[in-house]
Structure 1
Amino acid sequence: MLKKIAFWLLVVCFIGGGIYAYLYLTAAKKPKVMALQAIPDDCVFIIESSDFFKLWKKLNETNLIWQELQQVEYFREIRETGKIIDSVLSVDDEVKEIFNENPVYLAGVEFEDKRDYLYALNVNMNKAGKLVDFVKRIAVDLAETETKTTKEKIWQFTLKTGKGHLFLYVKDGLALISQKPQILDRAIACINKNCVANDARFKKVSEMAGSSVDFRFYSNAAWSGKMYLNFLNRNSLFESLAAKQTKGWTEMDVDFKPNEMKVNGFTIPDSSSFLNYLAAQTPQEYKFINSVPQSTDNFLFLGLGDFSELYNKVEANVLSDVDRNNHKKLFSDLSDKVGMNLCD
């Protein structure tokens, strides 16, 4: 009897030890700091992609909309910084696998009246060293340094391709990449403090974001209006509408095809009545040659279902007589160009 009890005790201990070892190893692999916990909550936009390399390939092969967007400074900057990161990571399958396993976030961060970019992603704890080893292989002038304020170790290096300098931070399963050490310093300082992961408005829109899309585009409301003005005729009407959007986040699910950009959602939980109206509309394709970048013949324009309703809804948000006159002239001109009365 004692032998049988001892045997089963050994079996229980063996199974218990196996379970503990499994849970311990799983916890050891899991990142301690999530990527969104290191993105400042005052960044101007965030692009989230579950497959960075697939997205980058689709953008740069045949997409005509992406080529049109290069007329806008914001998107030119994204293209250039994306080229640098892609040239580094696409040559090593093992490191590329790290990026394919986890969402990649690209955040636009304002710094000293300029904009720079922060790449953030998570890596399994047991693969973090591989990322650093890879950097050592592809870099020249590699140097270990530290951030000015947070005093954290970072890697500074120049690419052998000669395309620029980069700074890398890897710790607790979190990897941050930027062309400015100040951006890394700021991101590290905001970990689990002033970050988007703790922003209730951001969490609200992220919970409603789509899953099977090329990327999710989150934009700070104060910046969104400025971005939209790149696609519209600039006048005091739209500038005044954009000025009203100062808090919260918007989110759009985006898919790319060779000749189009499909926006699947326009999520704005904290918005004005005007933007709520737009969010409720169904997609409609129409010609807006003079309202969007040149040579773009068709555009899914904010999901408008009835252009005649748009005239009245915008007019309800007009702030002054000057804006009202601009509003009427804008829609009269559009009516002439598209051969359709948009003002009734």
Structure 2
Amino acid sequence: MSKRKKIVLWFFIILIIAIAGIIAYVWFSESKNRNPFTAIPDDAVYIIETSDLTKGWSTLSDSKMWKHLCTTKHFEEISKSAASLDSIIKGNSTMDMLFSDRQMLISAHMISGNDYDFLFVVNMKQASKITFVKDYIKTIIEAFGYSMSKRNYEGTEIIELTDIKTLEVLYITFIDNLFIGTYSPILIEKSIKQKDKENWIKNTEFQAVAGEIGSKKLFNFYFNYSLVPKFMQCYLSEESDLANSLSSIIKFSAFNVNLENEQLSFSGYTNIPDSVSSYLKALSGVDPGKSDGYKIASDKSALYLSMCFEDFNEFYKNLTTAFSAENGEQYEDYNKMVKKLEKFLKVNLNNDFFGWIGNEIAFIKLRPVANSKEGDVSILINAKDIEDAKKGMEHLTSQIKKRSPLKFEAIDYKEYKINYLNIKGFFKMFFGKLFGKLEKPYFTYIDNYVVFSNSPSSLMDIIDDYLAGKTLEKNKDFVTFKENFENKSNVTIFVRTPEMYTHLYCYSNAEKRKGVHENKDLILSFSNIGFQLASDGELFKTTLIVSHNEDALYSDELEKIESAAEELYLNEYDSLKFKTKLSPEQLNKDGKLELKNDSGSLKLECNIKNGNINGLCKTFYASGNLASSVNYKEGKVIGKATFYFDSELQTVKAEMIYNDDEKIKDEYIEYYENGAKKAVIEFNDGKPNGDAFFYYDSGVIKIEGKYKDGKKEGKWKNYTEDGNLFDKAKWKKGQVRKKNIE
């Protein structure tokens, strides 16, 4: 999207300045007073409203947030234009007369499958009475390098102002007291075509929330959720289940906006459609609950979405009642399916699953790491009594095992047992599309929560961070931001932009990835976004807060460099997760053992002696490429172990040596897929001890430091990819003592 579109506001105002000298003599003549909302087409994704143009501009331009944005590359052109606008508006009595107490609307509309544009509407009141303004404009715009032409559309004149250099066209028109402009010919025509339909004025659902906030505040903001999926296609490479869910269960939000130096605060109301059964409709009749899942959620969480209720049974009853009333046949099918499942498994789902659920179900998405997949998600379900939850889940899984040909042995990971719920679509069956990606989930227990995920690696990451105290509860920045919100709510969403940026970058296509990268400083500067709903009669009281941090890019770069010490495959090898497990039958016969995949390709090749794996054991990817080459002695991993990327080139992923106690010793070396070293760490008795070096994939040093008994010790230095020192610190027993030491 052109930068010029971003600065259209200043041009509109400059365009009108020239008429200031001739406006006085018609100032008091009568003019039709059309509501500015009549000029906004009905497909607006969002609408921004200010009640006073001059005061609104002064508030925005004086804020610390705006001043930082103007230093970013993305706002470079806007900054220059803003400086011109600032000098024109501030201290100009004529401008004050023209634009004080002038209402303006800015609306965003989709103009293609992956692009949007803006429409600006200014209520000029009696100022628009001047019939010869349109002719006078031609003289003015020539000074700005524009040419002018006119055309008629359905009885309304459209003025087209063409930039002679770029050939971009600004379309403007006057409808009664309204001045309307846009860079999109589609939008100017839609505005004219729909001007007498009063779409937004007659929309009772929109007016229900808009009427609650009034129009006295300097800034108001309105959001139309039905267009969220289309709008998100501007930023995502595929459909978002969350965006689709929001569009179907929420109609509109209306907010009063408060702009502070480092924070944008939105407070208002949200409504939901009467005709759709949804989480929110079920929650609207339930008292808000308290969210505590952040106490165990990893501080690498990019998204934390929490649904809370004082009583889960009441919430679930509301949900099923609404569903049965609106989808009778489907509800009968659902009931039959549940009864069939219970009969087949010989379980009672109310006792084994629903009965122990407490007051929160939270959905989290972690910042992507080396082995992450785009669809990786985790669900935290609060338990009234964690022992009851364990009893119910153990009974459910044991019954499934009896009737499933797939045998999955629970994994013991750092004293946490990771289990497997082998029922396809279990969560989607009960909780809908939002949980659709959680097919046949793995799960474990942390504190008083049952934690589910479609990725065992995600569960391990959550366990690692919980044990290391790296949770959202221990993240000072998150806790400070969370204090802006109520303790009890029905829905709370936190987006942590630095973590979400990585997700957007990793999983967008090449074209969108370029845009995401170019705007990194801008995106990261809005470091935290929080959204909260609490039931209030037929509406939801709504809070939206956007926190700004001009140092976020530096902080994220430092965190990203330092995280290189953590974002390794080391945990997989240290925990012996890779260790081959064979059945008693397979271990019963000495000699060479080969196992194959369903496709016939080799899966495993090893030697059996005296009921144990002995010697070199190789595993293979489904592609047939070598995955690992590990030495065993009497069933124990002892000696050299080498792991490979899924490549015909057999590129080494990591290599290490295990002692007689199956612990890593000497040197642990990890590689990038291009063959360059990623990390070299000295080990002793299973713990990092001694020198540690981490590298960029270009071979340039990224971090250098030392470990002692598995913890950072002494001087650590972080470098940029061009080899310059970025940051340095002194550590003692895994804790930072001094930053930027000499």
TM-score by length of 1: 0.63
Q: Which residue of 361, 364, 369 corresponds with 1:311?
A: 361
Which residue pairs with 1:39 in the alignment?
Answer: 40
Residues 1:122 and 2:123 aligned together: yes
Q: Which residue of 200, 208, 213 corresponds with 2:212?
A: 208
Counterpart secondary structure, 1:29? coil
Give the counterpart letter for 2:259 in structure 1. Answer: F
Deviation at 1:174, TM superposition (A): 1.7
Which residue pairs with 2:696 in the alignment?
Answer: none
CA contact (8 A) 2:225 2:251 kept: yes
Which residue pairs with 2:50 in the alignment?
Answer: 49
CA contact (8 A) 1:59 1:66 kept: no
Which structure has the greater CA radius of gyration?
A: 2
**CA distance change for structure 1 residues 339 and 282 in 2, over 3 Å: closer, same or farther?**
closer
Q: Pairwise mapping of residues 31-110 of structure 1 onto structure 2 (< 5 A)?
A: 31-64=32-65, 90=89, 94=94, 97-110=97-110
Structure 1 Cα separation of the partners of residues 119 and 140 of structure 2: 20
**Farther off after superposition, 260-269 or 318-327:** 318-327
Residues 1:255 and 2:269 aligned together: no
Q: Which residue of 220, 239, 245 corresponds with 1:241?
A: 245
Q: Pairwise mapping of residues 1-344 of structure 1 onto structure 2 (< 5 A)?
A: 29-64=30-65, 90=89, 94=94, 97-113=97-113, 114-129=115-130, 132=134, 135-136=137-138, 138-140=140-142, 141-147=146-152, 149-157=153-161, 165-193=169-197, 195-224=199-228, 238-239=242-243, 241-245=245-249, 248-270=251-273, 272-274=278-280, 309-311=359-361, 317-319=431-433, 320=435, 322-323=437-438, 325=441, 328-329=452-453, 333=462, 337-339=471-473
Structure 1 Cα separation of the partners of residues 308 and 213 of structure 2: 20
Counterpart secondary structure, 2:189? helix
**Farther off after superposition, 221-230 or 206-215:** 221-230
Structure 2 Cα separation of the partners of residues 156 and 197 of structure 1: 29
Structure 1 Cα separation of the partners of residues 286 and 49 of structure 2: 21
CA contact (8 A) 1:142 1:155 kept: no
CA contact (8 A) 1:144 1:153 kept: no
**Farther off after superposition, 138-147 or 234-243:** 234-243
Higher strand share: 2
Structure 1 Cα separation of the partners of residues 306 and 216 of structure 2: 20
CA contact (8 A) 2:48 2:222 kept: yes
Structure 1 Cα separation of the partners of residues 97 and 289 of structure 2: 38
Structure 2 Cα separation of the partners of residues 165 and 27 of structure 1: 33
**Farther off after superposition, 103-112 or 318-327:** 318-327
Give the counterpart letter for 1:311 in structure 2. Answer: I
Aligned residues: 298
| Root mean square deviation, CA, Å | 5.3
**CA distance change for structure 1 residues 160 and 269 in 2, over 3 Å: closer, same or farther?**
same
**CA distance change for structure 1 residues 145 and 257 in 2, over 3 Å: closer, same or farther?**
same
**Farther off after superposition, 25-34 or 51-60:** 25-34
Give the counterpart letter for 2:472 in structure 1. Answer: V
Give the counterpart letter for 1:119 in structure 2. Answer: F
**CA distance change for structure 1 residues 143 and 59 in 2, over 3 Å: closer, same or farther?**
same
Deviation at 1:136, TM superposition (A): 4.5
Deviation at 1:153, TM superposition (A): 1.4
Structure 1 Cα separation of the partners of residues 187 and 83 of structure 2: 17
Structure 1 Cα separation of the partners of residues 209 and 97 of structure 2: 28
CA shift digits 1:241-278 (9 cap, x unpaired): 33534x73222221110011112224225374438669
Deviation at 1:176, TM superposition (A): 0.6
Which residue pairs with 1:5 in the alignment?
Answer: none
**CA distance change for structure 1 residues 87 and 28 in 2, over 3 Å: closer, same or farther?**
same
Structure 2 Cα separation of the partners of residues 89 and 177 of structure 1: 20
Structure 1 Cα separation of the partners of residues 286 and 82 of structure 2: 33
Counterpart secondary structure, 2:59? helix
Which residue pairs with 1:16 in the alignment?
Answer: none
Give the counterpart letter for 2:151 in structure 1. Answer: E
CA contact (8 A) 1:256 1:262 kept: yes
Deviation at 1:155, TM superposition (A): 2.3
CA shift digits 1:5-32 (9 cap, x unpaired): xxxxxxxxxxxxxxxxxxxx99963434
**CA distance change for structure 1 residues 281 and 263 in 2, over 3 Å: closer, same or farther?**
farther
Structure 2 Cα separation of the partners of residues 84 and 108 of structure 1: 25
Higher helix share: 1
CA shift digits 1:69-89 (9 cap, x unpaired): x99x9xx8xx79x96995898
Counterpart secondary structure, 2:100? helix
Structure 2 Cα separation of the partners of residues 169 and 184 of structure 1: 8
CA contact (8 A) 1:109 1:116 kept: yes
Give the counterpart letter for 1:265 in structure 2. Answer: G
CA contact (8 A) 2:128 2:176 kept: no
Structure 2 Cα separation of the partners of residues 219 and 64 of structure 1: 22
Structure 1 Cα separation of the partners of residues 286 and 33 of structure 2: 37
